[in-house]
A and B are shown apart, each in its own frame.
Chain A
Amino acid sequence: MARGANRISILQSAGYVGGQKHGLWDFIYTTSTTKDPLYNIGDVVVIPSRGIFVYSKSADACISGQGAEFTYTGYIPYTEFTVTADVGDRSVTVPAATHAALATDELRNGFIWIYDGSTNNVQFRQILGNDSAAANAAFVVYLDGPLTEAVTTSSACEVCQNPYAALRTGTSASLPKAGVPTVKVTAANVYFWCQVGRLPSYAWLAPQYTIIDKQIGACWRHDGTLDTVGNGVDGENDYVSTQYAGHTIAGNYEGIGPLFQLA
């Protein structure tokens, strides 16, 4: 795998109706235990008048007529930096922490949260690639944009792979649903395409303690943080609006992030 930005392909762009006798997108109906060299997990294909599809990998079997859920919980939990970085730097060294051996660019299309340790001015970046590392060792990740604030030893980070790396048929009301597989997936570690309702729009937003367990959808609080939909529609709650903010994709108040899909 090579380092690079998340790819979005728009097939038949401008929505022209083609005269083909067969589709140009047979590949979205395929599964394979080998990664397609053209796509990385999290890459998106848009087919006008057909749908939006995300390149995914299974954590278990996926039934094609039921929603697949995100099972991913993160790669590196909250860990303080030991190597500093300057404003303008496009890479950071993720400190040593418990993790499996890491292949080069395995975290491509993943995310890193960089917390300054004292304020909520979080630097949230997509990962373009990473250096390989032995299990539990520190490693460098390359960012989709420069740091706008310095990283100090008071700063900390959380890291996750793209969450489409671990989907399975829905089994839990506490796990967010990703979309629907285009075809049956019979086992774990199979690459396939998952149809989604909208383009991914990943974000970081401060969660209140209520954003956990089955509270996956969220409404905006008065201060721009996230609270539950239940509190949003409760006329007795003085702080939470009825405006839907989006939903959690991975993590929660107590875990990483959360990684959040903006509505």
Chain B
Amino acid sequence: MAKEEKDKKVVAPTKVDNSLNFNNPEDVKKFYEMKKKKAKK
């Protein structure tokens, strides 16, 4: 892959990413909800 293409890929990811964004309060809340649910099990 040419260097320019590689650089472009880093700036604009194309893969779908299911990870949580811990900078986003909505995602953090999802994490806490998951913990709460697991704790009750």
Contact = CB atoms under 8 A, between A and B. Distances in A.
A78 B32 contact: yes
Interface in A71-129: 77-80, 115, 117-120
B10 interface: yes
B35 A206 contact: no
A236 interface: yes
A115, A206, A239 interface centre (most CB from chain B within 10 Å): A206
A254 interface: yes
A239 B13 contact: yes
Interface residues of B, number: 22
A118 B38 contact: no
B29 A118 contact: yes
Interface residues of A, number: 26
B31 A254 contact: no
A48 interface: no
Contacts of B3: none
Given A78-B32, A119-B28, A236 B38 contact: no
Given A156-B32, A206-B22, A77 B39 contact: yes
A158 B13 CA distance: 35
B20 A208 contact: yes
Interface string B21-33: 1110100110110
A27 B25 CA distance: 50
A177 interface: no
A249 B21 CA distance: 23
A174 interface: no
A167 to B, nearest CB: 25
A231 to B, nearest CB: 9
A84 B17 CA distance: 37
Contacts of B21: 223
A223 B23 contact: yes
B18, B22, B34 interface centre (most CB from chain A within 10 Å): B22
A64 interface: no
A210 B13 CA distance: 19
B20 A236 contact: no
Contacts of B39: 77-79
A162 to B, nearest CB: 21
Given A79-B39, A206-B22, 6 more contacts: A78-B38, A118-B25, A118-B32, A209-B19, A225-B20, A255-B38
